[in-house]
Amino acid sequence: MSKRKATTNLASTASTVDFKKLTVPLLKQECQQRQLEITGKKAELIKRLQDYESGAVIKKEEEDVDDETEQKELTMKEKLKKLAEEEKKNQKGPKRFKVDTECPYYHGAQIVDDYDCMLNQTNIGANNNKFYIIQLFSIGTNYWVWTRWGRVGDSGQNALKGPTSLDAAKKEFEKKFRDKTKNKWEDRANFKPASGKYTMIEIDTGADSQDIAEMENKLTTLDDVDGPSSSKKSKQTSPCTLDKETQDLIKLIFDNDMFKEAMANFDIDVKKMPLGKLSKAQIAKGFEVLEELEEVIKKNARNTTAMNNLTSKFFTLIPHNFGRKRPPTINGLEILQKKMEMLMVLGDIEVAQSLQKGPVKTENGDVPHPLDANYGLLNCGLTLVDKKSETYKIIDTYVQNTKYGSTLLEVWEVDRDGEDKRFDEHKDIEHRKLLWHGTNVAVVVAILKSGLRIMPHSGGRVGRGIYFASEHSKSAAYVGSSRDGTGIMFLNEVALGKQHIIHQDDSSLRAAPKGSDSVLAQGCREPDPSKEVTIQMDGNDVIVPQGKPISNDLDYTSFHQSEYLVYKESQCRIRYLLKFKMH
């Protein structure tokens, strides 16, 4: 077999740096400045840099970005801003606030008007990561001002002033707010962060603690319709219409403990940003700071002052619990991308929580079973695939021959509302493939509701697109499982069309190069193409890999396993949801 060589374009300039004389940290800095991978041993880093400078790397062709597509496909930041504006516009009645649960008068006390604020301050240089709560509440005709402060993650110290008059309590509250933030309480709508002071954290007060508790107890207080406690259910509650496997799936993807665990895994302080109170506007602000950080890192990776300041600003906006450890500086594209992904997960959790707010009734006025209600919120059909069917056997073969350390439990056919019509825009693209996409279990609700989304920035190895793989093990690496090791993955029909093949990272890509429909980051190996089968899906031929991975026999590629990229959200359709036990 003759070797296939990567197409090359000569770099326009060549470096005079002798990479062999540099230490590993300096080599990594040189890679970072060129937006190359920074992993590997010294010899690998040197070769990567030499290849880049000699021109042995695919350069992105000049391309025309589809302006219409750019306008249609909003980033998560833009979507959150839009949703926040809509919620503010549609808000009915006054906001509701709850007294801090650490306050001795938690039960029976009421917040006066909106005299309630949560402040946060992170300063990496001084190892500060602290919070400050100020509340004015009443019991009868008496008024108190409650304050609590300390390091994020700790209960901290507290003080209670009162009882006193309303005027005196307001003056005390406003003075404390001004002292801590350098802002006037009456001007809080135009809050301006001040150096060395606390920043106001915006939370969603649309649901109070009681609402959230009710939401969390929805599924735990009602067993399955055939369960031993079914007789305890209200007569007005309809029996569950879902099969047992789908019931378990809906429980999993709407589980509040799972959402909390996902947040805790990101070091998010769930006391500051509790479920049901995540602010869309606050998360959007976090995206804006990360975008500033991305610019700084790309322009000058040695500008530690700017990176420390922006990192402090980010952790102030999005409270993290680092315990007594110094908050880490966001000083590279890899850690930046992880924080971007974290905000994506937070945004998706917010979507899932928002969906569950508000009463739902059936046509006859009965209250639907909570599992049916949550299933209905998805606007998505999920049909369990028979394990004896030919479809299941093909999928199982795909799994077994490309997996690593996981067990397939169930498969559902997915029919997202409206996705068929959107996907039909690409009916003329003939080359199609069923490909893997792994994700965090906490974002499954949002994906089923809204579809797979373009990443909000260009930090990925192959730019700003939707990533797929032909090997289960590649996508499984991106799965965030539940506490018991249950993970969710998707198989997607992807309209690949004419592929632009690359063998070197290119994080600047925002669209397939002119004349191409998709990008293939070709890896060292690929499932044996001679074993592929073709199935019919809505009249189209779709290729499904069935073989074990074999070598691609390339001279050089920076990718171990192949990745497939499309840069339009409409260019893929979710076909199957798969539930795994991850090992």
Say what the pLDDT of residue 226 is: 40
Please report whether residue 461 resides in a domain. Answer: yes
Supply the pLDDT for residue 276: 52
Separation between Cα atoms, residue 448 and residue 442, nearest integer Å: 12
For residue 41, what pLDDT is reported? 72
410: confidence class by pLDDT, cuts 50, 70, 90: very high
Q: How confident is the model at residue 4 (pLDDT cuts 50, 70, 90)?
A: very low
Among the candidates 153, 171, 201, a domain finishes at 201
CB 431 within 8 A of CB 496: yes
Is 32 inside a domain boundary?
A: no
> What gap in Å lies between CA 3 and CA 377, rounded to an integer?
52
Q: Which of 15-29, 334-348, 467-481, 533-547 bottoms out in mean pLDDT, i.e. has the lowest?
A: 15-29
What number is the average pLDDT over the span 350-355? 77
Quote the pLDDT of residue 368.
85
The pTM of the full predicted model, rounded to 2 decimals, is 0.69
The pLDDT of 278-301, averaged and rounded, is: 84
Q: What stretches of 67-109 adopt beta strand conformation (E)?
A: none
The pLDDT > 90 percentage for the chain reads: 49
Higher-pLDDT residue of 440, 97: 440
At 395, which CATH number?
A: 3.90.228.10
- Give the structural domain span for 529: 379-582
- Which of 151, 167, 201 terminates a domain? The answer is 201
Higher pLDDT: 242 or 47? It is 242
Residue 321 resides in a domain? no
304: how many CB neighbours lie within 10 A of its CB? 14
Cα separation of the two ends of the chain: 37
**Token representation of residue 141:** 């005709």
Domain presence at residue 264:
no
Check pLDDT > 50 for residue 62.
no
For 518, residues 6+ apart whose C-beta sits below 8 A from its C-beta are: 494, 495, 496, 497, 498, 499, 500, 512, 564, 565, 566, 567, 571
pLDDT tens readout for residues 145-189: 999 999 887 889 999 999 999 999 999 999 999 999 999 999 998
Whether 95 maps to a domain, the answer reads: no
What is the radius of gyration, based on Cα positions, of the chain? 26
pLDDT the model gives residue 76: 65
- What pLDDT, on a 0 to 100 scale, did the predictor assign at position 578? 98
- For residue 11, pLDDT beyond 60: no
For residue 549, tell me if it sits in a domain. yes
Strands 142-151 and 533-537 come out as unpaired
Q: Residue 404: pLDDT band by 50, 70, 90 thresholds? A: confident
pLDDT tier, 63 (very low <50, low <70, confident <90, very high otherwise): very low
Which one-letter amino acid corresponds to residue 456? P
Among candidates 557, 567, 549, which has minimal Cα distance to 521?
A: 557
* CATH number of the domain encompassing residue 172: 2.20.140
* Residue 278, pLDDT score: 59
Residues carrying an active site annotation? 563
Whether 498 shows a pLDDT value over 50: the answer reads yes
Q: Which of 15-19, 407-411, 498-502 has the lowest mean pLDDT?
A: 15-19
Work out the pLDDT band at 68, boundaries 50, 70, 90.
Answer: very low
| pLDDT tens digits for range 111-146 | 999 999 999 998 887 888 899 999 999 999 999 999
Structural domain includes residue 467: yes
Q: Which of the two residues, 295 and 52, has the higher pLDDT score?
A: 295
pLDDT band of 13, cuts 50, 70, 90: very low
Is residue 358 packed enough to be buried (19+ CB in 10 Å), middle (13-18) or exposed (0-12)?
A: exposed
466: pLDDT strictly greater than 80: yes
Residue 362: pLDDT band (50, 70, 90) is low
389: pLDDT strictly greater than 60: yes
Contact 313, 196 (CB under 8 A): no
Q: Which range, 209-213, 244-248, 303-307, has the best average confidence (pLDDT)?
A: 244-248
Q: Is the pLDDT of residue 65 over 70?
A: no
Q: Within a domain: residue 503?
A: yes
Domain count for the chain: 2
Token code pair at residue 354? 């928002």
Q: Residues with Cβ < 8 Å from 382, sequence gap 6 or more?
A: 246, 249, 375, 412, 413, 414, 415, 448, 577
Q: Which residues contact 375 (CB under 8 A, 6 or more apart)?
A: 242, 246, 250, 382
Maximum distance among all alpha carbons in the chain? 89
Q: Mean pLDDT for the chain?
A: 82
- Which of residues 154, 183, 201 is at a domain's end? 201
- What's the CA gap between 340 and 93, in Å, rounded? 34
Cβ atoms 33, 18 nearer than 8 A: no
Q: What whole-number distance in Å separates Cα of residue 567 and Cα of residue 517?
A: 9
Residue 370 confidence (pLDDT) above 60: yes
pLDDT value of position 53: 65
267 pLDDT higher than 90: no
φ and ψ of 542, to 5 deg: -125, 125
| Distance, CA of 577 to CA of 448 (rounded, Å) | 9
